[in-house]
Amino acid sequence: MREGKKAGVKEAPEKEKILVIDDEPSIRKYLQTLLEVDGFEVSTVVSGSEALEFIGDGARPDFVILDVLMPEMDGLETLRRLMAADPGLNVIMLSCSNEVSTVVKAIRLGAHDYLTKPFEKPELDAALLKCRQKKELKAENQALREYCDQLTEDLSFLAASPQMLKIRQQILQIAPVDVPVFISGESGVGKEVVARMIHLRSSRRQQAFVKVNCAALPGELLESELFGYEPGAFTGAVRAKPGKFELANKGTIFLDEIAEMSPHLQAKLLHVLQDNQFARLGARGAIQVDVRVLAATNVHVQEAMRSGRFREDLYYRLSVLSLHVPPLRERSDEIPMLFRHFLLKYSEKFQKTVSEPAPHVIEAALRYPWPGNLRELENFVKRYVILEDNDGSLRELLEMTETQQRMAPSEEPVAPREQGLKALVRGLKDEAEMGAIADALEKTNWCRKDAAKILGISYKALLYKMRQFNLDTGRSTRTAGPGVPVIKSS
Ligand SMILES: Nc1ncnc2c1ncn2[C@@H]1O[C@H](COP(=O)(O)OP(=O)(O)OP(=O)(O)O)[C@@H](O)[C@H]1O
Ligand SMILES: [Mg+2]
């Protein structure tokens, strides 16, 4: 039972509220009497400025009756300002003249109807009825728009497997609760999609969703990106710049690849999360913000904490609630649906009519483990849409599957001698590549951002290679595929 409501007692319906704005006392009195008899709750004010104050104080009348001719601020100016303060107001104008230009101006400014003084009671009733109908139509439109937004958002988050249906359910539960969420999962599984859906389903949906890729910038730059700076904070800081935390005020900040953040910045972020405030670089005073933090990583967090790369206290602050998005290979039943989804997306984007892929392409797609997850599938479908080559796509899938199988850890390695020359060369190339990657990782204490820099490849390319060579869980001892070296922990 809700507080303040007695079981079994039917509450009287709430009275509709009307605000009357007119400088003439007789008209105010006349309208108040008529409307109160009809069951309205009537408030009256004598000028535009009083009306603006009334609305500014948070009053939300169901209807407003507004006189056009008033001293100081006239009715049209009052209407303009009232609509700026609350575009949802339902206003009926009231005037001695029905000059067409004034009527047109009022309607353009958002008035629903226009009554000419003196008016009879039935005219007032008709104007109110029309206004009520418009108001109801507006509410229906709004509800329909929200429903459509939700539908679009749901359609961009596809879920069919039991794991993903559960995640969708969890998102719906988690979204309205204003606490940090930690999203983990391999690269390309849909962590950002999950983060956006949490934001869109939260009460912050009308505010900003600000994404920051913590792996994309070196430490100092990331710090100024997150917290902003004042002029002179460092060489080149000519003008003040707000940070992403400020831009996300009242909304959500999505800290992607959080485990790549430098230890110094991890400590600073922890303080920000504790105090809800921070200072721009070079500033004296602190800024208070109201931001919901969502963080994501594709690294094995427990491993990163064990090796000291990621602060445990920060993790526990960020993971009040956590979600793990499973890799595509663990929900391969979703592949046909996702294939079709991306097919539609890119057919529309490239304005091509593309036929469904041949069944054997889908069958091959179901057998391939998709180490790059949905993003890899998406890129594959994009190529399919551009080239429309079933045979080529099938060949590509079979080759990728073969490479994967060759790379997968095996208990019984096949001696290079037993393979063809081509395979032998490929094995040696992979061996050299994997050795270089392992070296770079060891040298950088498994900091993948720095390792990518040493290797001269992008961070994403390194992640892909690590997964391909089964190096993705970091320092643990792993057995690798045939003809490739064993990586030992340091
Ligand atoms: N549930 C889903 N339904 C439909 N499309 C999805 C879904 N999840 C992911 N995608 C699509 O797959 C692609 C990769 O998703 P996203 O960028 O969210 O992955 P990610 O885990 O953040 O990747 P990374 O770790 O590389 O940043 C995007 O194009 C996204 O639209
Ligand atoms: Mg992402």
Q: What is the DSSP string of 17-86?
A: EEEEE-S-HHHHHHHHHHHHHTT-EEEEESSHHHHHHHHHTT---SEEEEES--SSS-HHHHHHHHHHH-
Task: Show me where the domains of the chain are located.
Answer: 17-140, 162-324, 329-407, 416-468
Asked if domains 17-140 and 416-468 share a fold, the reply is no
Which CATH code of 1.10.10, 3.10.50, 3.40.50, 1.10.40 fits the domain covering 416-468?
1.10.10
| Confidence at 420, pLDDT banded by 50, 70, 90 | low
Q: What is the pLDDT of residues 226-282, one digit of tens each?
A: 999 999 888 888 888 999 999 999 999 999 999 999 999 999 999 999 988 999 999
Close Cβ partners of 405 (under 8 Å, ≥ 6 residues apart): none
CB of 48 within 8 A of CB of 92?
Answer: no
Beta carbon of 158 within 6 Å of any ligand 1 atom: yes
- Point out the ligand nearest to the CA of residue 337: 1
Element (H, E) at 467: helix 459-468
Beta carbon of 270 within 6 Å of any ligand 1 atom: no
| pLDDT > 60? residue 3 | no
Q: How far does the centroid of ligand 1 lie from the alpha carbon of residue 374, in Å? A: 6
Beta carbon of 187 within 6 Å of any ligand 1 atom: yes
**In this predicted structure, which of 45-54, 357-366, 439-448 has the lowest mean pLDDT?**
439-448
Beta carbon of 216 within 6 Å of any ligand 1 atom: no
| pLDDT > 50? residue 414 | no
Q: Which fold has domain 329-407?
A: Helicase, Ruva Protein; domain 3 (1.10.8)
- Radius of gyration for the chain, computed over Cα atoms and rounded to the nearest angstrom: 32
- pLDDT for 376 equals 96
**In this predicted structure, which of 137-146, 317-326, 351-360, 470-479 has the lowest mean pLDDT?**
470-479
Beta carbon of 193 within 6 Å of any ligand 1 atom: yes
| pLDDT > 70? residue 1 | no
Mutate which of 338, 375, 377 for ligand 1 pocket (most atoms within 8 A of beta carbon): 375
- Point out the ligand nearest to the CA of residue 156: 1
- Point out the ligand nearest to the CA of residue 342: 1
Which parts of 388-420 fold into alpha helices (H)? 390-407
Give which of 184, 432, 211 is closest to 327, Cα–Cα: 184
- Inter-axis angle of helices 459-468 and 390-407, to 10 degrees? 70
Beta carbon of 374 within 6 Å of any ligand 1 atom: yes
Mutate which of 374, 380, 381, 467 for ligand 1 pocket (most atoms within 8 A of beta carbon): 374
Nearest atom in ligand 1 to the alpha carbon of residue 195 is: 18
CA-nearest residue for atom 28, ligand 1, is 375
| pLDDT > 80? residue 212 | yes
- pLDDT for 182 equals 97
Cross-strand partners of 254 = 211, 294
Q: What is the CATH number of domain 162-324?
A: 3.40.50.300
Nearest atom in ligand 1 to the alpha carbon of residue 341 is: 4
- The CATH class, in words, for 17-140 is alpha beta
Beta carbon of 185 within 6 Å of any ligand 1 atom: yes
Q: How far does the centroid of ligand 1 lie from the alpha carbon of residue 192, in Å? A: 6
Close Cβ partners of 478 (under 8 Å, ≥ 6 residues apart): 409, 470, 471, 486, 487
Question: What span, in angstroms and rounded, lies between the C-alpha atoms of 395 and 397?
Answer: 5
CA-nearest residue for atom 8, ligand 1, is 190
Average pLDDT of the chain is 86
Asked whether the whole model's pTM tops 0.85, one would answer: no
- Point out the ligand nearest to the CA of residue 374: 1
CA-nearest residue for atom 9, ligand 1, is 190
| pLDDT > 50? residue 360 | yes
Beta carbon of 189 within 6 Å of any ligand 1 atom: yes
Amino acid identity for residue 433 in this structure? E
Cross-strand partners of 93 = 66, 114
Beta carbon of 192 within 6 Å of any ligand 1 atom: yes
Strands 113-116, 241-242: pairing is unpaired
Q: How far does the centroid of ligand 2 lie from the alpha carbon of residue 326, in Å? A: 14
